[in-house]
Amino acid sequence: MTGIGFDLLATDGRARRGRVTTAHGTIETPAFMPVGTAATVKAMTTDAVASTGAEILLGNTYHLMLRPTAERVAQLGGLHRFMNWDKPILTDSGGFQVMSLSDLRTMSEEGVTFKSHLDGSRHHLTPERSIQIQHMLDSNITMCLDECTPFPATEAQAESSMRLSMRWARRSKDAFVERPGYGLFGIVQGSVYPEQRAESVAALTDIGFDGYAIGGLAVGEGQETMFRVLDFTEPLMVKDRPRYLMGVGRPSDLIGAVRRGVDMFDCVMPTRSGRTGQAFVRSGTINIRNARHAHDERPLDAECSCPACRSYSRGYLHHLFKADEMLGPMLLTWHNLHYYQDVMRTMRQAIENGNFEEVASAMETRLNEGDIEATVDPIAKPGKPPKQGRPPKAERVAEEKTDD
């Protein structure tokens, strides 16, 4: 096998059930990749991550090139050995930082010059250097260097950005070292403009890649716009290669994108939210810091088999966060990652069974139900019943905090 393999096992409407084969194992799709930006999924051991059902992790070229450096990772045996993860790894090229760190970089046709956010040192990242770094990291799926077009962008801005990314895609392909079980993905750009997305898909298809990512979304455009872009982009993409929607998202985003033919996802949301006290459950989201949970003996989600739900009450988890104990973020992160993998498993099974739309619609309905009814505090002070209404503003802000 040269590159990575992809078998399309079943379809139901536009939803796809597949399997990606790499030198470090297989990935059942639709798949969600936990984010391990700096060679670690925050608050989790790799054994714990694997126990959730995750089969692939994401690392980041930009952050690892700065610390500990790609050369150091290579000297220590590559990223799999370095972080004790023997399953597949995908590495982001650093393109997102081209956008998010705009005040610390300058761009040219050649590449991007970054000023390190760590110590102010200057680094030059070109398509060739990005591919070289990812090779040293021993990434199974390498991403082309691209410019993640910000939102909003005018048609002229989006066109210029997209065409630069396509030129960088060709250079990335030329620099990539082909070997069995390792692949290179191109990234479709074009903002919200159908003609530009079509041009980008055609350019990448002409170059030829092992898989194709859809970039430039989840950058503030909103779910409705994101789905609209997927509606006119996905039908143009080749059918026999995996499709990866970068940086997405909430459970409802995952369901809607799988409905539109996407195979792979990544997002910091389940881990970041877990660290700030937000839990994703089948009926939506809850903020475990809210006072209503302080006396609650029930689990976060009665249908979940993760350690947080199996062994601990909402009251205990609430206490951990109020006491600033590190176990709280660890358990909520574990729960969120487990829940996300449950969502993906459910969708894979539904596609195989041919009832995806029925199952997806039921999941979406439950996500809008809201949390279970609060219990009465048995030791509340007389005359001061527990608040049942809208939580204080500070707690609402924490609950609504999402990926940047």
Q: Which residues are catalytic?
A: 92, 266
CA distance 88 to 182: 10
Q: How far apart are CA 216 and CA 220, in angstroms?
A: 10
Residue 96 annotated as binding? yes
Say if residue 78 carries a ligand binding annotation. no
Q: State the residue for tokens 């030791």.
A: 379
Instruction: Say if residue 24 carries a ligand binding annotation.
Output: no
Is position 361 annotated in a ligand binding site? no
Give, in order, the Cα–Cα distances in Å from 241 to each of 29, 96, 192.
12, 23, 23
Write the burial class of residue 248 (CB in 10 Å: 0-12 exposed, 13-18 middle, 19+ buried).
buried
- Is 144 assigned a ligand-binding role in the annotation? no
Question: What does the DSSP assignment read for 275-341?
Answer: HTTEEEETTEEEETTSGGGTT--S-S-TT--SHHHHH--HHHHHHHHHTT-THHHHHHHHHHHHHHH
Comparing C-alpha atoms, which of 103, 102, 98 is closest to residue 145?
Answer: 98
Q: For residues 261 and 156, what is the distance between their CA atoms, to the nearest angstrom?
A: 29
Residue 301's closest CA among 342, 272, 259? 342
Tokens 């004790």 found at: 84
189 is in an annotated binding site: yes
- Which of 285, 326, 335 minimizes the C-alpha distance to 308? 335
Q: What is the DSSP string of 331-378?
A: HHHHHHHHHHHHHHHHHHHHHHHT-HHHHHHHHHHHHTS-SPPPPPPT
∠ CA 212-215-221 to the nearest 5 degrees? 145
Residues 6+ apart with CB under 8 A from 380: 295, 386
Instruction: Please name the residue that has the structure tokens 């990772």.
Output: 73
The one-letter code for the residue type at 256 is: G
174 annotated as ligand-binding:
no
Query: Annotation-wise, does 148 bind a ligand?
Result: no
309 is in an annotated binding site: yes
CA angle 24/29/30 to nearest 5° reads: 140
Cα–Cα distance, 360 to 258 (Å, whole number): 9
Q: Alpha helices of 193-248 — where are they, by DSSP H?
A: 194-207, 223-233
**Is 93 within any annotated ligand binding site?**
yes
Binding-site residue numbers are 92-96, 146, 189, 216, 304, 306, 309, 335
Binding-site residue numbers for Zn(2+) are 304, 306, 309, 335
Binding-site residue numbers for substrate are 92-96, 146, 189, 216
